[in-house]
Amino acid sequence: MSSKKALVCGAGGFIGGHLINRLKEEGYYVRGIDLKEHEFFGETSADEFIIGDLRDPEVARSVVTEDLDEVYQLAADMGGAGFIFIGDNDADIMHNSALCNLNVLEEAKKVGVPKIFYSSSACIYPEYNQQDPQNPKCSEESAYPAMPDSEYGWEKLFSERLYLSYMRNHGIDVRIARFHNIFGPFGTWDGGREKAPAAICRKVAIAEDGGEVEVWGDGTQTRSFLIIDECIEGMRRFMKSDFIGPVNIGSEEMISIQDFTKMVIDVSGKKLSIKNVEGPRGVAGRNSDNALIREKLGWAPSKPLRNGVEETYKWIEEQVKEKRKAAV
């Protein structure tokens, strides 16, 4: 068991909530900070949970203290395609997320935090390498020349460089991971910020047997999806390693959105047809490239996508039922 002390920024979010549970299992003392409590976990397992806004340097100062062994910076203004690709949220995404990173890192420098984890994203990869749905390129070194397809991706790229600069100039030990579509139970599944796997599970759970499910775009766009348990396992292994990154944490099991939807429908046991409609869809193809994580950590995610879909669909189906019950 560990006697280490960690700060989780973005503790009320999907990955932050799961990370806190894992750190507690490992014996950590955990302080969490977020704008809000975790929506789905009920009582937090963190030792301290602070509601606060990391855009405010004073708040960052109050939570980034010198007794910390590790900081996990997951706080970001983010969402799925319906949030980051529509244009309306670009200024907020860049301003809010950059401020969280600037403030947390500056305080980490001042108090001398030994190690800090930063969650970057597959969205940093250049659009020009992701135009062939069957053959996208997302190896870590292909990030430059940079041309992310969203401001969300540009902010992540700026912040990656910010962390690396603080490492070079101020000696902070950083770990930078590029997450590829993490999904699973206890994540946002409705309201506009949900990502594709949760949105598709929700649509299937809501549909009446014999009905239709809407999919944004023609469904040929490809992605890979990583179940949350393996994301957390990857984060912990990465944090314990000597490797700085950036490194992909994602699944290599690429699937088209049409086939992903068919998989969810199959898991649901319903008979449904797919209706392709206009909608934000992002790059044509994206897949994790796990050569580097395998080389550096001797490990890579291996759980089949279908297992994650079964787990996630079951949880979202329960949420839909509970919401319906509450509405009557």
Residues belonging to the active site: 152
Of 63 and 207, which CB lies nearer to ligand NAD in the complex structure? 63
Which residue stretches of the chain are H helix? Answer: 14-25, 57-63, 81-84, 90-111, 151-170, 196-206, 228-240, 257-268, 291-297, 305-327
Chosen residue from 7, 63, 64, 76 binding ligand NAD by CB under 6 A: 76
Closer to ligand NAD by Cβ: residue 45 or 276: 45
Q: Which of 7, 20, 49, 55 forms a contact with ligand NAD (CB under 6 A)? A: 55
H or E stretch covering 142: none
Of the residues 89, 159, 181, 268, which one makes contact with ligand NAD according to CB under 6 A: 181
Considering only residues 105 to 124 of the shown chain, the ones binding ligand NAD according to CB under 6 A are 119, 121
Q: Is 150 near ligand NAD (CB under 6 A)?
A: no
Single out the segment in contact with ligand NAD by CB under 6 A; choices: 68-76, 265-273, 300-308, 317-325. Answer: 68-76
157 binds ligand NAD (CB under 6 A): no
Identity of the residue numbered 145: P
Distances (CA, A) of 18 to 25, 116, 327: 11, 18, 28
Say whether residue 16 binds ligand NAD (CB under 6 A): yes
- Residue 213: which H helix or E strand, with range? strand 212-216
Half-sphere exposure at residue 43, Cβ-oriented, CA atoms within 13 angstroms: 2
With a CB cutoff of 8 Å and minimum separation 6, the contacts of 227 are: 182, 183, 184, 251, 301, 303, 305, 307, 308, 311, 312
To ligand NAD, the closest distance from the beta carbon of 328 in angstroms equals 29
35 binds ligand NAD (CB under 6 A): yes
Q: How far apart are CA 221 and CA 130, in angstroms?
A: 10
Closest CB 208 distance from ligand NAD, rounded Å: 29
- Strand bridging mode 222-223 / 255-256: antiparallel
Task: Report whether 15 contacts 74 (CB < 8 A).
Answer: yes
Q: Tell whether omega for the bond before 301 is within 30 degrees of 0, i.e. cis.
A: no
Closest separation in Å from C-beta 51 to ligand NAD? 9
- The contact mask relative to ligand NAD for 193-222 (x = CB under 6 A, - = no) is --x---------------------------
Q: Cβ closer to ligand NAD: 160 or 207?
A: 160
Instruction: Supply the minimum distance, in Å, between the C-beta of residue 173 and ligand NAD.
Output: 19
87 is written with which tokens? 């244009």
**237, 298 in Cβ contact below 8 A?**
no
Task: Look up residue 285 and give its DSSP letter.
Answer: B
Q: Does 101 bind ligand NAD (CB under 6 A)?
A: no
Between 53 and 214, CB nearer to ligand NAD:
53
Residue 159 found at the interface with ligand NAD (CB under 6 A):
no
Residue 36 in the binding site for ligand NAD (CB under 6 A): yes
Work out which of 23, 71, 100, 207 binds ligand NAD, going by CB under 6 A: 100
Closer CB to ligand NAD, 17 or 133, in the complex: 17
* Residue whose CB is less far from ligand NAD, 12 or 285: 12
Q: Kindly list the strands in the beta sheet with 29-34, ordered across the sheet, starting from the edge strand earlier in the chain.
A: 48-51, 29-34, 5-9, 70-73, 115-121, 173-179, 247-249
- Site residues (vs ligand NAD, CB under 6 A): 10, 12-16, 33-36, 53-55, 74-78, 96, 100, 119, 121, 179, 181-182, 188, 195
